[in-house]
Amino acid sequence: MKILEEIQSTIVKGLSTIYNHDANAEDILISQTRKEFQGDYTVVVFPFVKILKSSPNDVGNKLGDHVVQSLESVDSFNVVKGFLNFSLTHEYWKNQLSDISSDDSFGIHPRNGKKVLVEFSSPNTNKPLHLGHIRNILLGWSCSQILDAAGYDVIKTQIINDRGIAVCKSMLAWQKFGNNETPESSDTKGDHFVGKYYVLFEQKFKVEYAEWQKTEKGQQVFSELKKGEQSEEDFFGKYKNTYFNDYSELGNEAKDMLLAWEAKDDAIRNLWMMMNSWVYDGFNETYKNIGVTFDKLYYESDTYLLGKKTVDEGLEREVFFRQDDGSVWIDLEDVGMDQKIVLRSDGTAVYMTQDIGTAMVRNSDFGVEKMVYVVGNEQDYHFKVLFEILKRLGEPYADELHHLSYGMIELPSGKMKSREGTVVDADEIMVEVINEARAGSVDRGEIAEMDKQAQEDVLRKIGLAALKFMIIKVQPKKGMTFDPKESVDMQGQTGPYVQYAYVRIQSVLRKFENKDYGSYDSYKELNEFELALLKEIVEYPRLVKDSAENYDPSSIANYCYNLGKMYHRFFHEVRILTAETEEAKAFRLQLSSAVANVLEKAMSLLGIEMPAKM
């Protein structure tokens, strides 16, 4: 990409010598020429027209002339309105291909020595993972890979919500109704097994609540507390939490269990550890299938008490203030936020306290320069507050915190709700997409000829590619809809489409096991398809950097699709093995190889594997 800087600085010089005007290189806006115009790179000259008191055409022509004469790689230029288009020499592009082909770390930026911690997935232990988690995991994983490629040292982590009243609900339900059933004895994946008991608790509680509503006490509460003409249904719908806390037997038992857990009661802790181990076995299986790993796990049971000391210190420094009842708050009204509680009146930690403490621990564990939290957009406000607090506490990394906020995946019928059984389960959807790939491969010779294990491997790669690509290609902050009834697409703007471009290349290159494609030194005239591919490949390193800066894997996905599309077009229009000349053949083989490398690298940043055949 050095050429862009050369053009910029040449234009700066030109402005200075021709117009006696000083400009900064960064002010020269330069981009790829749109394909409907002739040229490779375009400089927008509008901004200078006014200052120079000259017509766009005039400025364009003079600067264009200057650049063409100064730079050997620039072949010609044309001016359309205020756009100055440069065409680079074919020699230049040919050299680009040589450079890229000999660069094993193409698209991988030099280490910048900075550590960044990325938190993602962060499940609750009482429910299996669902499609929303898949989006979270894919974003977190691909972001980690992209940051790594952009030069950071990345620590992938998650915080596991393994405590609290919800966890006690499933424990209690198992204790009361489980008859010592285990995942093994019931042949159920551990996380689904525990999830089943969480749902069971909710069902039993619902029954208990419904019965209570009919009792004298229930009716009394209703008539005393209802607002105006509020219906019984509406009232009890809203009263549920209060009932759970004040009257429910099951609620009391669950709360007692939580107290026992906090008091480190042996029996409860053992039960807790046993059920957790079931859940983790299940989660690990899912992570393995989806293809992600973590460098470090944090458990809420270890971190929920953290942060209290920090709050005390902050209190002394008057970052926080104490109210009469003993609770501790921070006042953020001067920056347009509310007052927020950071410690309960009984001195125990809230969510915010925990997150403050966790950030500190992570910093002392790793000495991070940067942290990224992949968490759904319903927590936008929480992270705004958290980041502001860390800033006021003077944490050194406070300016480098980022909440990678993403939108919800909705079903055509609306939100996924676990209580209504409308969640798309992570394990199930992965099986489904692989089956979908299988259905699409029935009359494909290449796959039919493989042995069973190789077949399954390829089908897994294809199915997961379809699923992952579909999710990653959408910008994180946008919500998306997913219709489980319509199968995941395998055609068009999809993962398998990109894989297929790669597979086509492999099938050609297989004929040259030694990678000796011959010399293309004397190859002179590149055609439009070759040029288009080269231009796109050359963009890759910059794209990685942009994507890392914006925390946006979707731009990589869209790039992969575009490059794949260009290659399919090229493949259709241009002969490779039966090219007009030996030089042309050598060049196209080398070009194809470069495309395949970039596709493989870029897709792997997204956690998508490429099959050699499909």
HEC per residue, 403-415? EEEECCEEECCEC
Using CA atoms, how far apart are residues 333 and 336, in angstroms rounded to an integer? 5
- Residue from 555, 582, 583, 604 touching RNA (CB under 7 A): that is 555
Task: Identify the three-state secondary structure at position 344.
Answer: coil
Nearest to 80 by CA among 53, 52, 30, 46: 46
CA angle 348, 373, 280 (to 5 degrees): 75
One symbol per residue from 431 to 470: x for binding RNA (CB under 7 A), - otherwise; what is it? Answer: ------x--xx--x-xx--------------x--------
Tell me which residue has tokens 């999809």: 494
In single-letter form, the type of residue at position 24 comes to: N
For residues 358 and 159, is the Cβ–Cβ distance under 8 A?
Answer: yes
Strands 401-406 and 370-376: parallel
Restricted to residues 277-306, the positions that interact with RNA (CB under 7 A) are 300, 304
Using CA atoms, how far apart are residues 156 and 139, in angstroms rounded to an integer? 12
- Residue from 64, 123, 496, 553 touching RNA (CB under 7 A): that is 496
Told to check if 497 binds RNA by CB under 7 A, we report yes
Task: Identify the three-state secondary structure at position 525.
Answer: coil
- Residue from 204, 269, 545, 569 touching RNA (CB under 7 A): that is 569
Restricted to residues 331-370, the positions that interact with RNA (CB under 7 A) are 336, 338, 341, 344-346, 349-351, 354
Using CA atoms, how far apart are residues 186 and 325, in angstroms rounded to an integer? 50
Told to check if 565 binds RNA by CB under 7 A, we report yes
Restricted to residues 211-250, the positions that interact with RNA (CB under 7 A) are 241
Told to check if 266 binds RNA by CB under 7 A, we report no
Nearest to 131 by CA among 474, 599, 371, 547: 474
Choice between 363 and 494, CB closer to RNA: 494
Sheet holding 401-406, edge to edge: 296-299, 153-160, 115-119, 370-376, 401-406
One symbol per residue from 367 to 396: x for binding RNA (CB under 7 A), - otherwise; what is it? Answer: ----------xxxxxx--------------
To RNA, the closest distance from the beta carbon of 309 in angstroms equals 18
Told to check if 574 binds RNA by CB under 7 A, we report yes
Nearest to 421 by CA among 223, 199, 172: 199
Task: Identify the three-state secondary structure at position 120.
Answer: coil
To RNA, the closest distance from the beta carbon of 180 in angstroms equals 29
Choice between 427 and 552, CB closer to RNA: 552
One symbol per residue from 134 to 173: x for binding RNA (CB under 7 A), - otherwise; what is it? Answer: ---------------------------x--xx--------
To RNA, the closest distance from the beta carbon of 509 in angstroms equals 9
Told to check if 34 binds RNA by CB under 7 A, we report yes
- Residue from 263, 492, 525, 580 touching RNA (CB under 7 A): that is 492
- Residue from 1, 17, 37, 399 touching RNA (CB under 7 A): that is 37
Nearest to 482 by CA among 551, 432, 557: 432
Told to check if 614 binds RNA by CB under 7 A, we report yes
Told to check if 27 binds RNA by CB under 7 A, we report no
The phi, psi pair for 11, rounded to 5°, reads -70, -40
Told to check if 33 binds RNA by CB under 7 A, we report yes
Using CA atoms, how far apart are residues 343 and 19, in angstroms rounded to an integer? 64
Choice between 183 and 300, CB closer to RNA: 300
To RNA, the closest distance from the beta carbon of 9 in angstroms equals 18
- Residue from 407, 411, 422, 424 touching RNA (CB under 7 A): that is 407
To RNA, the closest distance from the beta carbon of 10 in angstroms equals 18
The percent of the chain in helix, strand and coil, each rounded to the nearest 5, is 55, 10, 30
Using CA atoms, how far apart are residues 483 and 496, in angstroms rounded to an integer? 19
Told to check if 6 binds RNA by CB under 7 A, we report no
Using CA atoms, how far apart are residues 456 and 132, in angstroms rounded to an integer? 26
To RNA, the closest distance from the beta carbon of 452 in angstroms equals 15
One symbol per residue from 505 to 544: x for binding RNA (CB under 7 A), - otherwise; what is it? Answer: --xx------------------------------------
To RNA, the closest distance from the beta carbon of 573 in angstroms equals 7
For residues 315 and 309, is the Cβ–Cβ distance under 8 A?
Answer: no
- Residue from 68, 70, 82, 388 touching RNA (CB under 7 A): that is 82
Told to check if 83 binds RNA by CB under 7 A, we report yes
Please name the helix (run of DSSP H) or strand (run of DSSP E) that holds residue 402, with its range, or none.
strand 401-406
For residues 260 and 268, is the Cβ–Cβ distance under 8 A?
Answer: yes
Choice between 550 and 581, CB closer to RNA: 550
To RNA, the closest distance from the beta carbon of 149 in angstroms equals 17
Told to check if 176 binds RNA by CB under 7 A, we report no
